Amino acid sequence: LTSSQDYSLHIQLTDRDGNEAFSHYDHFHIDGEANNYSLHVKGFGGTAGRTSSLAHTGSQFSTKDRDNDRCTCKCAQLASGGWWFEACGPSNLNGIYYPSSSNVVRYNGIKWYYWKGPNLMATMTTMMVRPAIF
């Protein structure tokens, strides 16, 4: 999908209080279907945590009907959406949007753990891909 050249990935997050943060990866690509759309990132930086919330390089994309998350718990079913889960790891930008201001931890909600912990209720997330040399 992204093999024609070197790409970067920029993820913008906004929480329900209007706070914004970002995670940026200098190098990003996704393998094709034969490799279950494996994720490859390096060169992390940004304001959305001291470490990356995105799954480790090589994590495969999982959906409810294609479980590739290396966990017997079936993360895509628990989280109600497809993502690069690493044993149901620290992120899921395809989770369910909960508009409530409740502080109840919802494992199937939108999460970016190393920014706001398990209680993040994001109101907006954007993933932007562009050529690394721009």
Evaluate the CA torsion angle 94, 95, 99, 103 in order and state its sign: negative
Scan for tokens 């094709």, then name that residue: 32
Q: Report pTM.
A: 0.89
Domain parsing of the chain, residue ranges: 7-131
In this predicted structure, what is the pLDDT of residue 37?
A: 95
Report the chain's terminal Cα–Cα distance, integer Å.
Answer: 19
Cβ distance 58 to 40 under 8 Å?
A: yes
In this predicted structure, what is the pLDDT of residue 96?
A: 84
In this predicted structure, what is the pLDDT of residue 103?
A: 60
Which of helix, strand or coil describes residue 3?
A: coil
Low-confidence residues in the chain, pLDDT < 70: 1, 100-105
Select from 3.40.109.10, 1.10.10.10, 3.90.215.10, 3.40.50.300 the CATH code of 7-131: 3.90.215.10
In this predicted structure, what is the pLDDT of residue 111?
A: 87
H helices then E strands: how many in the chain? 2, 6
In this predicted structure, what is the pLDDT of residue 2?
A: 86
- Which pair of structure tokens corresponds to residue 35? 């490799």
In this predicted structure, what is the pLDDT of residue 105?
A: 64
